[in-house]
Amino acid sequence: MRVRPAHRIGGAIALTVAAAVALGGCVASTPEPTATPSNEASATPSPEATPTGPILRPGEAAAANRQFFDLINTEYHDANGRGDGRTIVDSLVDNGFEKQDMEITPDSTAIGLAADSIVVSVRIKGECLLGQFTPENYVSSIEPLLGTGGCLVGKTRTIDW
């Protein structure tokens, strides 16, 4: 067995250390990023709920509001049939229509019999949304505002509730 001189061993070690230091510069000095677990919800905001059906469009024409008017009145008719004037008006008000823009015909005739139909109107931008309730169905139309400034001809109920 041959013994190496100590200076050669020391030189080999120094050369190995120098090579390791030199090659160490070729390797990325910052570690790869890792995911950090978090108990918080995602920072991405959730989208706001959007209406999926007709909506009330304040400030727009009668035509833009007719689908919503019909939706409210059809749901009312499905639940109540012809119903009565006060609850028809209340249903519309509860859904955003303005009571001061409404007219409604009486629930009964001059001799106390139930009226064949009840007509409700809403004035919107110089036009009238009209809804007619009978025991069998509900229908609507858009008509021009009358010269009187109202929507209905004849006797109407005072809406003071």
**Domain ranges, ordered by start, for the chain:** 62-144
Question: CA-CA distance, 105 to 6, in Å (whole number)?
Answer: 119
Average pLDDT over residues 135-139: 97
**Would you state the pLDDT for residue 160?**
85
Q: pLDDT tens-digit profile of 54-72?
A: 999 999 999 999 999 999 9
**Would you state the pLDDT for residue 161?**
78
Phi first, then psi: give them for residue 157, nearest 5 degrees: -80, 150
Half-sphere exposure of 77 (CA within 13 A, CB side): 21
Question: CA-CA distance, 46 to 64, in Å (whole number)?
Answer: 29
Closest CA to 143 of 159, 109, 119: 119
Element (H, E) at 64: helix 62-80
Average pLDDT, whole number, for the chain? 81
Residue with tokens 């250390």: 17
Using CA atoms, how far residue 89 sits from 7, 13, 41, 44, 86, in Å, is 108, 98, 45, 43, 5
Q: pLDDT tens-digit profile of 78-136?
A: 999 999 999 999 999 999 999 999 999 999 999 999 999 999 999 999 999 999 999 99
